[in-house]
Structure 1
């Protein structure tokens, strides 16, 4: 026993000694040194003392001679060095998921023992070399880069053992050259998302070992050759989003393992091949959006593994196949836009596995029979029957039962009859759309008992009677207990009749909604609608509603859309509605409303058309301003006489004072002094207006206690010479001005005649100038210069955050994590002040990194807040019909381009991602999979690779938890549903609770 123990110890010590005695080949060490010198970042686990280092002890290296270099996901920044080609014993080179750029060194394609080359997910560009000699290579993965040129089929000449060739998501172009057939061992060929075109070469079909063929999102064309049947080992084939035409070859009997086949969005014609319709292995089949015809003849007794079937938008005809119910695993069917005839088959009563069925726009008849059959599908959760059953009657069979149904759409069918009682038994219903029919009678009160229902669209029918009060107690709209866990299919649920034609891919994307417009509803609007705290859309337009607008509607705190137009409402518009911070679309047009239109809050953003057709309304959005008797309530009879006398005396005295004031103002102007705009009279002659244009109006704030003359600005900028330009944006140029007393100013020159009227412009400027906070860029004054307007701001020494993150060469490395967190906290404090403490509250409307300026201490200051309101539509390239800047615009602005508080939060979330990643919101120089920052980050989080999104200049394990916390909150700000986004106070609290930077009160 002692001998055995001694031997074991001896062997162990021997191996340990051998491991410690491994030494780095001197040539390899020199090559690694050169490689490291070309990088901008170090490599964790590598020695910084290169002169005496033993590279065998470095992370990711296996040697004596270096045989493995595995540095994937190490956040390496820089260019690849040609010296790596000197590692002639290298077997594995993995530099994937880093930040490498430049071209691939030619020497890497001449490593005699290299088996694995993985450079995927970098920023590598350039072309493949014409000569490739990798005799031992098995895997080449260069996906998700920016490599150009043709597919390098030359690799197949000397690399007969290659099994994986993944080059998807690059900039490869041209036709697919002859020669791929020489890669006889190839199992995975992924060329998706490139710019390849033309026919597939015949020698491609010599790859008998191929299992994955991914050619989607290119421009391949021509007929698909029947020789594809030679690829008998195929498991996954994706030909979607190309331009293939002709018949799909009838060779699927050759594929003994095929599980996934997608040829959607091509130009295929003819029938579904018989062999495909009998495939026993296929699980997912998508032929959507082609020109396939004939009848659908699938052999379900053979297709025992089919789960998802998508044949929408083709030229099929005939009946819905009766035998589909015998497909034992089939769960989702999309037959939208197919010209079927007849009815839903009786055999569907036995369709136990069916959970999703879309037959929209498919010419199906007999709704009564269809529902009678489909009620037996006990696993059915989603049923889309739009644009069928034309002019039929809505069945009112009380025996119908859909106990598990969550989504039901029977819209645009021109159905007559009444809303059926059987719907009251659909206790799981979350979304119901019966719009664009001819249904009559009252809205049933039992809708209020459907506890999960959060989306109800009964618009464009002939419903009458009062809105049932029970709707004001719908639980999901009162308490927000909306839980949508049903997995969505990979095709759109259905397309709403909205301006954008937005495709909702899952029920959870729908905003909580009550659509009751375009009916014949009467009565008043219930004050109890205020109970619906979670409701986002309330549409009651085009009815016969009467009475007043309840002031309690301000309690619907999540409301984004309120449409009460084309009714018989009277009274005033409640000023309490100003408190609806998320309201982005509002209309009370064509009623009988009177009084002053509220001002402030979101009402500043609504167009005049929201109020037209109410001749008795007055104010900013009406055809005439309010007179004093329209603006104030009527006085009681007992006080009217005294009040009238007092008002008469007041008006007389006021007139005298005003005339005197005009005289002194004109006298002062003639001396060229600076005037306070509060004392400026608006009724002056043309000569006075011309003199006014040469003055600087100072705003009342702590930074503007000294006089400024236009001459001072002209002298400080050499009459706005180009040498003084420090910025250029959609609103005009920005100049740096150093006055004679040493003060530094930033002058924004708003060019051209594209502003509001002078009076409105000045009023807006005065409102913005009252916003005073340490994290705002202070507006010190304004004036006219020729036809332009000048805004005078405090000067920020360090320019914009955009400059430091994206333009300055050493900018990103100069902003460490603590500084970036401080910038985020400061900007959040400024935004919280604008949204909550400033009177009136101000929407920024254009939050972006270039509008966050930094002083000498790198403290953040929000700039250009509210400036978008000063510019008339269609006069600046900034907005492109939307509010904000591309890359920062929230998705809901595509349907209603009106600014909201939650829109500001979304834009701020984009800025947080910029701070974390160092990337621009949109970067067309990156690979297609990572050009859109938000999509890229979302995908990385989905793959549990969050730490890889962080800027390598700031990532440190010491701050990893803080950065992950900010990332999570940034993604919350970027929620597609505005209601889920935090408010500014929550945003500020979250950021201030991270790190140690103290916070000041936003007020």
Structure 2
């Protein structure tokens, strides 16, 4: 007991205080320090591994898949695989970078400010795909911001398709894609702003007793649309099939220049493929019959839709109009019947003040009929359509007949006068050779 008292009363008091602290307090502090150090080491290691995999964060940096970038670059010279890997990482690097090669990434805050909080007053378009807002960026440029509706991942699909289809495309008859926004579940596309509405509004809206769309303006719109589609079909590799050509997707500027928009349903078609089989999508009245029945899609489907659009320009009527009499509800059937009965001049929109010349009208009617040919192989390419609509010397049977009759009259007049009419020299036949 004496020894115990000696130890507990002498040694223990000395060991129970370290730098003025009790032993158990010092132990607790040391344990806490070790836990903190271990936690920091684990977090640093995890962050380094995450950076090596993908330079993503939870919303500050847009979610761009490698597949999108590679698809956009198809058709460019083959590069070193190591360099491609670097390109992918650079493309997903930071939202603060103002230009990442094929468009700028905008933050949700920037677009919220540009559209005044996505105000209802700034809505310029609305549909199943989402809502389009007019926006004013900090640099003073006007843009159209399409906020995609996230219905069962549809926003992500349309976002990806638009990036693939027209991310790097620049053409005067295609709406330019300025940039993108991807934060959390939000997916937005930022386009150049086209300031004169859609073709649908000018054709079917309340424009008064006389349409501002004269015949010449309508043909200008048709040619511009055809040039834009020709570039998608024949100027790109892989080619782009729009799949939703219609009047509401043709935007117009103040000079009535047409710009094809809305590539959310577009499909890419490589040169090794003549068609792609896909789920039938589009707008009723514009979809080609072979695509609707088989799901086989190629550029001929766009040609058919363009033919319907051209009919719409000529007549001022919608493809399907249930307010019309039974025989006129379907534009294609009514159009074909009127042409077959030689009443083509009655097809022209009555809101056009100055009627087109017979020559110009015949040219447009013929292009329509060729575009909607049920035999896909007989439909012209979009570049051929551009030529047919622009050419002044496009031949018609009636004009050829008139020219032949004119030549016949001229030959008679030459024979009756002393002015020789030029004829081809023909050698006399040797009758001995008949034996």
Query: TM-score band (shorter)?
Result: 0.5 to 0.7
1:769 aligns with 2:167: yes
Quick one: which of 794, 808, 829 aligns to 2:227?
A: 829
Contact 1:699 1:780 in 2 (8 A): no
> What pairs with 1:210-249 in structure 2 (closer than 5 Å)?
none
SS of the aligned residue for 1:910 comes to helix
1:856 aligns with 2:254: yes
Contact 2:177 2:191 in 1 (8 A): yes
> What pairs with 1:455-854 in structure 2 (closer than 5 Å)?
662=51, 666=55, 679=87, 681=89, 700=101, 704=103, 708-755=106-153, 762=160, 765-810=163-208, 813-854=211-252
SS of the aligned residue for 1:749 comes to strand
Match of 1:930 in 2: 328
Which stretches in structure 1 are left out of the alignment for 5+ residues?
1-658, 871-880, 997-1003
TM-superposed CA distance for 1:925, in Å, is 1.0
TM-superposed CA distance for 1:719, in Å, is 2.7
Which stretches in structure 2 are left out of the alignment for 5+ residues?
1-47, 70-86, 269-278, 395-435
TM-superposed CA distance for 1:707, in Å, is 6.8
CA distance in 1, matches of 2:181, 2:331: 39
Q: Residue by residue, what CA displacement relative to the aligned partner does 1:903-936 show, whole Å, maximum 9, x if unpaired?
A: 1000000010111011111111111111111111
Q: Which structure: greater strand fraction? A: 1
TM-superposed CA distance for 1:782, in Å, is 1.8
CA shift in 2, pair 1:892/1:762, >3 Å: closer
Aligned-residue Cα RMSD (Å) equals 3.8
Q: Which structure: greater helix fraction? A: 2
TM-superposed CA distance for 1:760, in Å, is 10
Q: Residue by residue, what CA displacement relative to the aligned partner does 1:787-820 show, whole Å, maximum 9, x if unpaired?
A: 2311111111011111111114249611111111
1:951 aligns with 2:349: yes
Q: Residue by residue, what CA displacement relative to the aligned partner does 1:730-775 show, whole Å, maximum 9, x if unpaired?
A: 3121111112322111111211143479699647614421222111
CA shift in 2, pair 1:734/1:994, >3 Å: farther
Contact 1:717 1:736 in 2 (8 A): yes
CA distance in 1, matches of 2:293, 2:350: 37
Contact 2:106 2:180 in 1 (8 A): no
Q: Residue by residue, what CA displacement relative to the aligned partner does 1:418-452 show, whole Å, maximum 9, x if unpaired?
A: xxxxxxxxxxxxxxxxxxxxxxxxxxxxxxxxxxx
> What pairs with 1:5-20 in structure 2 (closer than 5 Å)?
none
CA distance in 1, matches of 2:63, 2:179: 11
SS of the aligned residue for 1:813 comes to coil
Q: Residue by residue, what CA displacement relative to the aligned partner does 1:540-575 show, whole Å, maximum 9, x if unpaired?
A: xxxxxxxxxxxxxxxxxxxxxxxxxxxxxxxxxxxx
TM-superposed CA distance for 1:892, in Å, is 1.0
Match of 1:966 in 2: 364
CA shift in 2, pair 1:869/1:699, >3 Å: farther
Q: Residue by residue, what CA displacement relative to the aligned partner does 1:355-380 show, whole Å, maximum 9, x if unpaired?
A: xxxxxxxxxxxxxxxxxxxxxxxxxx
CA shift in 2, pair 1:868/1:676, >3 Å: closer
SS of the aligned residue for 1:893 comes to helix
Match of 2:295 in 1: 897
CA distance in 1, matches of 2:204, 2:331: 14
Contact 1:973 1:982 in 2 (8 A): yes
Match of 1:208 in 2: none
Contact 1:846 1:885 in 2 (8 A): yes
CA distance in 2, matches of 1:773, 1:961: 30
Which is worse superposed, 720-729 or 906-915? 720-729
SS of the aligned residue for 2:204 comes to helix
Match of 1:915 in 2: 313
Q: Residue by residue, what CA displacement relative to the aligned partner does 1:19-42 show, whole Å, maximum 9, x if unpaired?
A: xxxxxxxxxxxxxxxxxxxxxxxx
CA distance in 1, matches of 2:144, 2:341: 45
TM-superposed CA distance for 1:670, in Å, is 10
Q: Residue by residue, what CA displacement relative to the aligned partner does 1:864-910 show, whole Å, maximum 9, x if unpaired?
A: 1353559xxxxxxxxxx633110101111232123221110000000
Q: Residue by residue, what CA displacement relative to the aligned partner does 1:828-855 show, whole Å, maximum 9, x if unpaired?
A: 1100000001122100100001111111
Q: Residue by residue, what CA displacement relative to the aligned partner does 1:686-716 show, whole Å, maximum 9, x if unpaired?
A: xx9xxx8x88996745xx5x77433221012
TM-superposed CA distance for 1:988, in Å, is 1.4
SS of the aligned residue for 1:746 comes to strand
Match of 2:374 in 1: 976
CA distance in 1, matches of 2:118, 2:97: 16
CA shift in 2, pair 1:745/1:994, >3 Å: farther
Contact 2:224 2:259 in 1 (8 A): yes
Contact 1:697 1:781 in 2 (8 A): no
Contact 1:696 1:710 in 2 (8 A): no
Match of 1:514 in 2: none
CA distance in 2, matches of 1:698, 1:955: 48
Contact 2:173 2:260 in 1 (8 A): yes
CA shift in 2, pair 1:698/1:948, >3 Å: farther
CA distance in 2, matches of 1:820, 1:989: 16
Contact 2:175 2:259 in 1 (8 A): yes
Contact 1:676 1:698 in 2 (8 A): no
Count of residue pairs the alignment pairs up:
318
CA distance in 2, matches of 1:966, 1:740: 45
The higher relative CO (CA closer than 8 Å, separation ≥ 6) is in 2
Match of 1:87 in 2: none
SS of the aligned residue for 2:240 comes to coil
Match of 1:101 in 2: none
CA shift in 2, pair 1:902/1:944, >3 Å: same
CA shift in 2, pair 1:816/1:910, >3 Å: same
SS of the aligned residue for 2:135 comes to strand
TM-superposed CA distance for 1:674, in Å, is 8.4
Contact 2:125 2:133 in 1 (8 A): yes
SS of the aligned residue for 1:765 comes to helix
Contact 2:364 2:389 in 1 (8 A): yes
Contact 2:180 2:188 in 1 (8 A): yes
CA distance in 2, matches of 1:748, 1:994: 40
